[in-house]
Each structure stands twice: as C-alpha cells, then as structure tokens.
C-alpha cells in the first residue's frame, strides 16, 4: 500500500519548477498515511520537464531497495505505483530471459520492463491490485491505469490548469482526492450528480465523484495522455459473463441438489485456484494477518492462510454490544477450529460516534452507513499489533452471488411468474433467515422496501437494485429545495442500466445483477470507502484473494445454478471449501456485515459533542445543502430512539457525513487551507 501523485503539463514556462515541487510536496503530505515509510519524487528535467511524479511508501516487499519512483536501465521509463503485483516473480524471470536487467527485488520494477517489452498490453499480464502512473520520456507520454476490480483508487483533475484542450493544460492525479483539492486553483465544490449517486446507490458512478472537477479512473481502465495533449481512455478488461443457462428459477430447493462429475471437477478446480490466489497474496516481507467475520468468505481465507501460508497467522475480528450485529460466537468457533491466535476488537456505539469524522475524512465521500468506521478501528488494531498486511474475504459475494439482493431479484421474478403460488406465504422468513436476530420492528423495516417494489418489472435491467435505491433516497426529503431539484434529475435505475454492455441482453438475469453490483457497490463503496480507505487510514494494506482476476473470471463463467440454487447462495464455493471449515460455518446463511447507525451519535438523548456542531442550524444554513427544519426533526426522532429501519438511519448518517465532508473539504478546514 502506497500513495501516488503527479502533475503533467502540456507546456510550462521555464523557471517555475519550484512551484511544481511545492505543489507535489503538498500533495504527498496529504498522502502520508498511505505510505509512512518513505517518500520519493521524479522530475522530467531540472527546469522545463513536463512531468512530476511522487510516491509515499508503505514498505512490504523488498524493504531495502524498493523506493519509488522507479525506472528502467536508462531512466527513460519511470513509474509510481500503489499496490502489489502478485505474479511479479514469474514476470521477472521471463523478462530476465529477454535481456532486461533488474536493480532491485521489487515487484514495482517489473512494470517498467514489462512496458518496454509489451507497451500498453502489459496491463493484461498483471495479477495484482494496483494503481499506477508511468511516464515514457522518449514518447513524452503519460499512462495511468487501475486494477480490474478497482481495489486501488486513482483520481485526476484538469481543473487546476486551463483544461485538457489548452496549450497550458495541466493534469493532476493522486491516490486520494484530498491531494488534488489542496492544489492552488482547484475548486472545492460538491457535485450534485455525484452526490445523487451516493444518495441513491451508496456511491458516485465513476468517472464522476462527489467533487466538481475531480474524476475517478474507473476499474479496469487505462488513460494515456500523449505528447500533443490528446487523451485516450479505454477498458482493458471486463467481466466475461456469457449466455450460460440460468438453471432452475424456483425458490423451493434446499440448495443441496445432486452433484455431477463435471460439477465436482469445477469445485476442485475452484478450490485449487483460490488456494493459489491465497499463496500469491501472502507474498510480503512483513507480518500478515487475516480478518475473520465468522462468515464463510473470511473464514475460508483464514483457513487457507493457516494451512498453506507457511507463516504464523493472527486473526482479527469485530465484536459489538448489539446482538443483531455481533458474530463473535462464530468467530470464536472458527478461530478454535483453526487453532490460530485470535484478537477480537470490541466496538461500541460511542466508539463509532467518536471516530466517524475521521472515517469521513479518509472516505472522501458521504456515507449512508457507519459500517466503514469499525473497519477503520479494526485496521488500527492490526497496525498496532505490528502487522502491515491483512487478507480478507471481500469479493466472494459479488463473484459467487452471495448477497440478499440476488435472492430478492429471484423472488420477484418467481412471484411474477407464479402469483398464486403457496410459497408466497412466509417468503421473507426464507429470504432473510438472519432477520430473527433483529428486533421485530427493525426486522419488518428491513423487508418493507422489498415488499414495496414487488409491483415493478422484475426483468428490468436494474430491477434488483430498486430496494437499495428506495431506501437511500429517503435522504432526498431533507435537502434544500435547489439541491433537491438538482439531485432528483439523476435517474439511478437508468444510470445503472446504462453501465451494462450491449452483450448483456443475452446474459441470464443473475449475470446482469452481478455485473452491476461489481461495477457499483463493490468498486465504489466496499473496496473504497469501506476497504482501501479504512485500511490506509491505519497504514495497512488489505488484500482480497477472491478478487484475483482468475477467480473473478472463473466465477463469471459459471452457470447460475452453481452460484445461486433456490435461495441458497455460493453453492459451488461452499462445495469447494467445505473440507477446510466447520460444517456449521459452511451451512450458515449469509449475514450482512452491519454496525449501529444513528444510535451511535447520541448519549442520554443528546448528540455527541464530536458531531453536534455540523448538525447545528448555523452550520446547516452555512452549507445550504439541507433543510435545517427537516434535519432538526430527523435528529429529534433519532435522539428519542424512534428512527425506523434502514431509511431513517441512512438519512441521518448521510446528512451528518455530508456536512462533515463540507466542513473538511469545501471549507477546507482539514486541508490546512
């Protein structure tokens, strides 16, 4: 894990290099948490060079000689890089055979030589999680690229110069938006359409962000800026879903089914692939930990690390006071089964409330849930233990159809096809088996959005996301009129449908649902606000073996019946890994990770001091984003414990996080401006 930043100039008057150095150092200073172990810079020419590259380092591989920026033999190709290339040893061996000479043992150096050998096609050979900026000095060409799943972030902006088409164009790029917003000339304004994405889908849809003038390079994309200023952006990889048979669409099966020889062969192939992904991602010259939620995915990764890692393993988990969120019994069961030292991190409501502003600062987006905050506190504990790397089970639900969202969509289609079926009775008890752990009123509220959407077309491209959109859009009622008008121009379901490739018309419904989930919630929220940002807040690197692109491709090509059978999720994955885990863990239904929301910000019916000021009438009026009277009523409702279900909780968290974002970045208080 590292931070990268840089500046590209189409042309620059001689003599202003001191300004460029100052700007780059300011950017790197705001990325220190991503790389506290070192800092390096590269300038293309002492006076009139067109590119400045910067890097903050978290030393994990090649601790002694892995400093960046890093170049090829003659320095004509330079790179700054955030992440890891897990197949770098095999790539390095092939490059040495081709005559390339290496000066370090770092995975970073592979990039410059691979680019020399293959040009832009080198990206297809990388197995890793990365964001990179590569400068080809001979061609005066800048290349930016991001990994297939979108694990590592990369943002860019033309707003601090005169625009992409100008002779004085200036491009700034960085791992985090805060490094861009600190540049002279950068606007610090919130973007209504970016906010509308968050307040409908939990994330802005790349390349848009919640800040005017700042774009996100989408996952699996590259962008080249040529010597003449011409810019080209392209997708170099996509999910290989095909026309595989959907399989039985009813919901009456028990999930077991009969296993054919071909299915058993697939299970064995998947098992070997996941083991290999884990082995690759264990490469590090520092101690490695694993997160353990008590569910199938994280438990499987921890089990494979313990069995095949060849190194001591410590597991970490989150525990809560509230029974509806706490999974500590399952976590202890897995840790005891594996025989690993286990360190639970207890997170109270007050802990969440006190740390929320820090989480928003790192997330750089409004949040509609508090769930990222405990993940940040968990990362703090990992770092305090001396570990810099943590493996997690993230990604399995997208690749192998583990979410309730996929089941909800199947139920909608089933009911539409058989409206008189006796299976309608008690459908929610089967759809949400974990709901019994929640209080009755909260459980009913979880189901309400689903019931409200039963009348919509269940075969529409984005039908599976209607409940999420409906719940998140509760926040719109609290907007000031002018902002509400702007935000409501955003058609969330149409925007989702527009993300699907033309070939998706031939895919089974589950494939379309997986594609949209991977390209929105996973990359924009789970791997960003809840993943990379919360880990790097504590200067650790999270790794995701289920997002090895070979595993992603394997899952995409599976027929739906081997992912979702009846209302039983991740069918083939469970079969592939069942020998590694207690039977009770394999048999568990998916329980979504959640944390206390609005209740975290009150004590004795009063707002915590840490969040009271952003919700004051004066602050609300100053920002102009929200209707102060409506927000006041919502605060009173939450203070009295009358917040009902997801919608009220998401609205409260969304208003508070947006106000904190405005204070930190728009007013610039946390940028030192």
pLDDT for res 11:
80
Considering the domain architecture, whether residues 295 and 212 belong to the same structural domain is answered as no
Considering the domain architecture, whether residues 231 and 267 belong to the same structural domain is answered as no
Euclidean distance between the first and the last CA atom of the chain, given in angstroms as a whole number = 27
Last residue of a domain, one of 587, 606, 621: 587
pLDDT for res 548:
98
Per the structure block, which two tokens stand in for 392?
């997690």
In contact, 352 and 596? CB cutoff 8 Å: yes
Considering the domain architecture, whether residues 28 and 142 belong to the same structural domain is answered as yes
In contact, 620 and 662? CB cutoff 8 Å: no
Q: What is the DSSP string of 84-123?
A: EETTHHHHHHHHHHTT---SSS-SHHHHHHHHHHHGGGGG
pLDDT for res 297:
96
| Residue 209 belongs to a domain | yes
Per the structure block, which two tokens stand in for 672?
């030192």
Residue with tokens 């509609």: 368
Angstrom distance (rounded) from CA 598 to CA 591: 20
For residue 308, give its domain range: 261-399+516-587
Angstrom distance (rounded) from CA 519 to CA 500: 10
Cβ neighbours of residue 347 under 8 Å, at least 6 residues apart?
Answer: 318, 319, 320, 373, 374, 377, 378, 595
Considering the domain architecture, whether residues 209 and 352 belong to the same structural domain is answered as no
pLDDT for res 440:
44
Other Cβ atoms closer than 10 A to 444: 15
pLDDT for res 344:
96
pLDDT for res 362:
97
Per the structure block, which two tokens stand in for 67?
């400093």
pTM of the entire predicted model: 0.94
* Residue 512 DSSP class: H
Radius of gyration of the chain (CA): 24
pLDDT for res 212:
96
With 0-12 / 13-18 / 19 or more C-beta atoms within 10 angstroms meaning exposed / middle / buried, residue 4 is: buried
Q: How many structural domains are present in the chain?
A: 2
pLDDT for res 590:
80
| Residue 672 belongs to a domain | no
Last residue of a domain, one of 565, 587, 609: 587
Q: Which residues of the chain have pLDDT under 50?
A: 248-250, 252-254, 437-441
pLDDT for res 143:
98
| Residue 90 belongs to a domain | yes
Question: Residue 220 maps to which CATH number?
Answer: 3.60.20.10
Angstrom distance (rounded) from CA 54 to CA 42: 6
Last residue of a domain, one of 536, 567, 587: 587
CA distances from 62 to 59, 134, 283, 286, 543 (A): 7, 20, 11, 10, 18
pLDDT for res 592:
85
Other Cβ atoms closer than 10 A to 76: 14
Q: What is the pLDDT of residues 43-60, one digit of tens each?
A: 987 656 789 999 999 988
Pairing status of strand 70-71 against strand 77-85: antiparallel
Considering the domain architecture, whether residues 332 and 221 belong to the same structural domain is answered as no
* Residue 389 DSSP class: E
Let me know the angle formed at the C-alpha of 392 by 390 and 396, rounded to the nearest 5 degrees: 160
């Amino acid at each position: 894990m590292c931070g990268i930043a840089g500046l590209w100039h189409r042309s620059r008057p001689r003599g202003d290099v001191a300004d460029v150095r100052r700007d780059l150092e300011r950017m790197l200073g705001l990325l220190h948490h991503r790389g506290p172990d070192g800092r390096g810079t590269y300038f293309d020419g002492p006076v009139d060079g067109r590119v400045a590259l910067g890097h903050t380092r978290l030393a994990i591989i090649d601790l002694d000689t892995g400093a960046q920026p890093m170049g090829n033999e003659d320095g004509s190709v330079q790179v700054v890089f955030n992440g890891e290339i897990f197949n770098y040893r095999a790539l390095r061996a092939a490059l040495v055979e081709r005559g390339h000479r290496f000066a370090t043992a770092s995975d970073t150096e592979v990039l410059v030589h691979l680019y020399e050998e293959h040009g832009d096609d080198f990206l297809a050979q990388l197995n890793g999680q990365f964001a990179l900026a590569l400068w080809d000095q001979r061609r005066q060409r800048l290349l930016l690229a991001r990994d297939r799943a979108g694990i590592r972030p990369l943002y860019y902006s033309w707003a601090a110069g005169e625009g992409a088409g100008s002779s004085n164009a200036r491009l700034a790029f960085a791992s985090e938006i805060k490094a861009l917003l600190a540049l002279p000339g950068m606007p610090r304004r919130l973007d209504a359409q970016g906010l509308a994405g968050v307040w409908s889908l939990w994330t802005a849809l790349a390349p848009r962000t919640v800040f005017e003038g700042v774009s996100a390079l989408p996952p699996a994309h590259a962008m080249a800026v040529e010597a003449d200023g011409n810019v080209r952006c392209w997708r170099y990889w996509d999910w290989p879903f095909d026309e595989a048979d959907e399989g039985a669409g009813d919901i009456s099966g028990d999930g077991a089914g009969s296993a054919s020889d071909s299915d058993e062969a697939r299970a064995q192939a998947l098992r070997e692939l996941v083991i290999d992904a884990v082995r690759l991602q264990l490469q590090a010259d520092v101690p490695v930990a694993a997160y353990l939620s008590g569910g199938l995915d994280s438990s499987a990764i921890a089990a494979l690390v313990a069995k095949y890692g060849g190194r001591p393993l410590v597991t970490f988990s989150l525990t809560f006071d509230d029974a509806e969120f706490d999974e500590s019994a399952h976590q202890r069961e897995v840790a005891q089964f594996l025989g690993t030292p286990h360190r639970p991190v207890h997170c109270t409501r007050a802990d969440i409330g006190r740390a929320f502003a820090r989480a928003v600062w790192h997330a750089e987006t409004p949040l509609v849930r508090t769930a990222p905050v405990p993940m940040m506190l968990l990362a703090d504990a990992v770092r305090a233990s001396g570990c810099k790397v943590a493996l997690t089970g993230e990604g399995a639900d997208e690749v192998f159809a583990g979410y309730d969202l996929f089941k909800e969509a199947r139920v909608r289609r089933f009911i539409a096809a058989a409206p008189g079926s006796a299976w309608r009775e008690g459908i929610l008890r089967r759809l949400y088996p974990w709901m019994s752990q929640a209080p009755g009123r909260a459980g009913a509220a979880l189901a309400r959005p689903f019931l409200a959407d039963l009348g919509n077309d269940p075969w529409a491209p984005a039908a599976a996301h209607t409940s999420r959109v409906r719940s998140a859009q509760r926040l719109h009622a609290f907007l000031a009129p002018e902002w509400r008008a702007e935000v409501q121009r955003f058609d969330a379901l149409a925007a989702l449908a527009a993300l699907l490739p033309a070939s998706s018309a031939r895919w089974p419904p589950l494939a379309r649902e997986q594609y949209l989930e991977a390209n929105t919630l996973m990359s924009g929220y789970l791997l960003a606000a809840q993943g990379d940002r919360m880990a790097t807040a504590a200067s650790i690197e999270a790794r995701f073996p289920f997002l090895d692109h070979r595993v992603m491709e394997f899952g995409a090509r599976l027929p739906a019946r081997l992912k979702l059978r009846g209302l039983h999720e991740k069918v083939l994955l469970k079969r592939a890994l069942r020998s590694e885990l207690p039977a009770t863990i394999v048999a568990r239904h998916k329980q979504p990770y959640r944390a206390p929301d609005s209740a975290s910000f009150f004590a004795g019916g009063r707002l915590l001091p840490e969040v009271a000021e952003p919700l004051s009438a004066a602050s609300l009026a100053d920002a102009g984003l929200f209707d102060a009277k409506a927000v006041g009523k919502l605060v009173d409702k939450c203070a009295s414990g009358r917040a009902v279900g997801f919608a009220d909780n998401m609205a409260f968290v969304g208003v508070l996080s947006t106000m904190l974002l405005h204070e930190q970045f728009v007013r610039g208080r946390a940028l030192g401006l």
